[in-house]
Structure 1
Amino acid sequence: MSLIIIDHGNRIETPISSLFPARGVDATTQPKALHDSSGTEKRLHADGESFTDFLKGETTANSPKQQTPNTYSAINPDKPKSHSVKLKAAQIMTWPVHTIAREVTFKAAWIRMQELHISHLMVTGANDDPVGIISHIDIIEHGKESTVSIANFYTRQLIAASPDTDISVISSSFIDYKINAMPVFDEESQLLGIICRSDLLRLLISGPHIESWA
């Protein structure tokens, strides 16, 4: 399965491009950006082309990883093997996903993020079903001390992945669209995990050691 669109907790068939215009495209009505961040995370966009090429599965490892117990034991060190690196969403996603009820205030959401050292929270509605997402940027914009409920301000339309979505597809979406987090759902619409720009940055920093993720 490739990418899907989640609108207020429900899968919809609307094409991604109609809800999430590509970067640099002017639209009469721009949807709310899914947590545009700044600082070091912008490196992902700057290195986007080479990064997505790197993740397409075309990169080869020309020498085996340094041997440790129970790893690469079958590799003959005299005959290094080349192999493709193809990672899936399930291999890099963060789980469990931290959530927060949509009735809480911005202040409460900010405190929870600080306690957990995270920058995104999935928002839940009735029966604890995920209905959207809120980021630290959203909270800062409205005020970290605000006692206003987040109910009318979290992002409802999300680009989501399945566990077997290629990381190359995900990384391209982070670059092509203004998103900084992507939830991962299974075929029964159960929330399994979340992938943030920081997860992709760790892959970028891993460089030649990316085989350890596979």
Structure 2
Amino acid sequence: MSLIVIDHGNRIETPVKSVFPTRGVESTAPSKGLHDSAGIEKKVHADGENFTHILNKESAKQPQEQSANTYSALNPEKKKPQATKLKAAQVMSHPVHTIAREVTFKTAWARMQELHVSHLMVTDAEDDPVGIISHIDIIEHGKDSPVSIANFYTQQLIAASPETDISVISSSFIEYEINAMPVFNESNQLLGIVCRSDLLRLLISGSHIESWA
């Protein structure tokens, strides 16, 4: 699987979409022309088809040049090279900064400011990762709040493996409205984290952007 569900620090087999509903867009019926411009539009399309037919007849008379770099039946061995896709392991930030789940929002905010990060992995008494907290969570509850984060951090996470394509991660950020994705290996060991800022740095640098597709 390219994406993993982590619940209270444990990997579960539940499909991602059943735990994290996607942001769906309601389908709409195709609109019908209800005014005079609809008839004009039909005429434009009809004229366009006639014009295209004429162009096709003219172009058929002209010999078409074959570019040396064009892949076609005339040059089957000339295939476009496939770009190597970027993986989570190549982009993730590591080591991952953590914080104990017993600390207060005020302490968590101070640590974020000190480290210049917007997410912290939350750990239990054995230092095992059990969730994540973001700067948005802290701001919502108060940056100076003396309340513990224990009951307010996110315990169900979408996570990636080191081999997850960056294209999958970036689309998941939009599809599930998340801003960070931890990276775990098969032994459930936390290896790193990919944040929106990591993807923005890639866009700015222009590194391997062609491999995202």
TM-score of the aligned structures, taking structure 1 as reference length = 0.70
Q: Deviations over 1:1-33 (max 9, x none)?
A: 41110000001111111221112469xxxxxxx
Q: Match of 1:7?
A: 7
CA deviation after TM superposition for structure 1 residue 126, in Å: 2.4
Q: Secondary structure at the match of 1:148?
A: coil
Partners of 1:23 and 1:177 within 8 A in 2: yes
Q: Counterparts in 2 of 1:41-120, with a 5 A limit?
A: 84-120=83-119
Q: Secondary structure at the match of 1:6?
A: strand
Partners of 2:100 and 2:124 within 8 A in 1: yes
1:21 aligns with 2:30: no
CA deviation after TM superposition for structure 1 residue 204, in Å: 2.1
Counterpart CA distance in 2 for 1:82 and 1:203 is 22
Q: Secondary structure at the match of 1:134?
A: strand
17-26 or 4-13, which deviates more: 17-26
Partners of 2:86 and 2:208 within 8 A in 1: no
> CA 1:103/1:130 → structure 2, altered by over 3 Å: closer, same or farther?
same
Structure 1 unaligned runs (5+)?
Answer: 27-80
Q: Match of 1:30?
A: none
Q: Match of 1:39?
A: none
Q: Secondary structure at the match of 1:195?
A: strand
Aligned amino acid, residue 130 of structure 1 = P
Counterpart CA distance in 2 for 1:138 and 1:148 is 13
TM-score of the aligned structures, taking structure 2 as reference length = 0.70
CA deviation after TM superposition for structure 1 residue 142, in Å: 0.1
After TM superposition, the runs of 4+ consecutive aligned structure 1 residues lying more than 6 A away are none
Q: Match of 2:188?
A: 189
Q: Deviations over 1:17-63 (max 9, x none)?
A: 1221112469xxxxxxxxxxxxxxxxxxxxxxxxxxxxxxxxxxxxx
RMSD: 2.4
Counterpart CA distance in 2 for 1:130 and 1:193 is 12
Partners of 1:181 and 1:194 within 8 A in 2: yes
Partners of 1:159 and 1:182 within 8 A in 2: yes
CA deviation after TM superposition for structure 1 residue 210, in Å: 2.4
Aligned amino acid, residue 203 of structure 2 = L
Structure 2 unaligned runs (5+)?
Answer: 27-79
Q: Counterparts in 2 of 1:170-185, with a 5 A limit?
A: 170-185=169-184
Q: Secondary structure at the match of 2:18?
A: helix
> CA 1:127/1:164 → structure 2, altered by over 3 Å: closer, same or farther?
same
Counterpart CA distance in 2 for 1:13 and 1:189 is 13
Q: Match of 2:165?
A: 166
Q: Match of 1:142?
A: 141
Larger relative CO (CA 8 A, sep 6+): 1 or 2?
A: 1
Q: Which one has the largest radius of gyration?
A: 2
